[in-house]
């Protein structure tokens, strides 16, 4: 009897675990008044904020908004007075035309890896005895990812390497059969016969590829953090096309593979648990 009861409780706990593992994390974050924003280096991120959700419909006489991280203030706007943290100068904004209608969202342009983290917004309003009171509005977690890609080019062709942001300052290269990284380009370098920086776009062209150019290219920012990683194969186009077609026909996409593996795992565990329960 005790053995049956133990198996019964085991099955119940297993069901709770499986159901819990399928709960949408976004629903949990909404309960905690927090949201997740995902961006890639060089793109724009919008951190949502609506002060009406906390202060009601009546607009303050002067809208005074603050955006902060656990370490420092990022942005502050009070009427015509504006302040931005040094590392965000020229990249952050709360549109004034939207602020009075309740939208206090922070726009971060040219997002960097170092921007990742938790942000909190506050409205500063008049309190008792003319004292200012900070009212918490919204917590947002920003996740920033670098760019990764696989590329294939033929000998003699050009590779256009996307730098993604003006904060990219260095490109390093590791040959296919090497363990060493070598400097390929630094911001400010003059163009050469094989390397050319686009005068307007954040792009670097490597001309007339050779077999020795086969390998990995990393674009780094001023802090040495990876902005992008490109794995380049230099091979004849006919071979490249054939390999690509084989992979496309035989290998499932990442999402499909993950979904299939997850479903099989859950089904296997449920079947095993049912067998245990009926022993």
DSSP 202-227: SEEEE-S--GGG-EEEEEEETTS-EE
Q: Please tell me the pTM assigned to this model.
A: 0.70
* Rounded Cα gap, residues 138 and 251, in angstroms: 42
pLDDT tens track for 203-222: 999 999 999 999 999 999 99
* Rounded Cα gap, residues 180 and 191, in angstroms: 24
Q: pLDDT tens string for the chain (279 positions)?
A: 444 444 444 444 444 444 344 333 333 333 345 799 999 999 999 999 998 877 776 666 778 999 999 989 999 999 889 999 999 999 999 998 888 888 999 999 999 999 999 999 999 887 655 677 888 999 999 999 999 999 999 999 999 999 999 999 999 999 999 999 999 999 999 999 999 999 999 999 999 999 999 999 999 999 999 999 999 999 986 544 444 433 334 343 344 444 444 544 555 545 455 454 455
Angle formed at CA 77 by CA 71 and CA 82, multiple of 5 degrees? 95
Best CA proximity match to 169, nearest among 219, 110, 109, 113: 219
Best CA proximity match to 111, nearest among 83, 138, 142: 142
Strands 64-68 and 73-78: antiparallel
Give the other-Cβ count within 10 Å of 194's Cβ.
14
Strands 117-126 and 64-68: antiparallel
DSSP state of 50: B
């Amino acid at each position: 009897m005790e053995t049956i009861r133990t198996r019964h409780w085991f099955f119940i706990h297993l069901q709770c675990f499986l159901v819990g593992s399928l709960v949408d994390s976004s629903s949990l974050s909404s309960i905690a008044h927090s949201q997740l924003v995902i961006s890639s280096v060089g793109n724009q991120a919008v951190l949502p904020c609506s002060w009406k959700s906390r202060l009601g419909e009546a607009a303050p006489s002067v809208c005074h908004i603050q955006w902060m991280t656990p370490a420092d203030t990022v942005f502050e706007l009070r009427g015509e007075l504006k302040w931005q943290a040094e590392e965000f100068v020229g990249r952050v904004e709360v549109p004034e035309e939207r602020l009075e209608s309740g939208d206090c969202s922070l726009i971060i342009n040219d997002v960097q890896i170092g921007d990742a983290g938790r942000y909190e917004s506050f409205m500063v309003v008049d309190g008792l005895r003319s004292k200012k009171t900070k009212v918490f509005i919204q917590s947002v977690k920003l996740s920033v990812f670098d760019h990764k890609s696989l590329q294939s080019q033929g000998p003699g062709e050009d590779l256009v390497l996307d730098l993604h942001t003006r904060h990219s300052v260095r490109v390093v290269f590791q040959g296919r059969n090497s363990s060493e990284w070598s400097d390929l380009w630094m911001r400010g370098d003059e163009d050469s016969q094989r390397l050319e920086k686009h005068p307007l776009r954040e792009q670097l062209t490597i001309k007339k590829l050779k077999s020795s150019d086969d390998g990995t290219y990393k674009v780094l920012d001023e802090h040495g953090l990876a902005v992008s990683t490109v794995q380049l194969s230099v091979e004849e186009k006919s071979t490249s096309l054939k390999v690509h077609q084989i992979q496309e026909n035989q290998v499932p996409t990442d999402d499909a593979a993950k979904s299939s593996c997850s479903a099989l795992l859950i089904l296997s565990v449920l079947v095993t648990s049912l067998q245990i329960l009926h022993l």
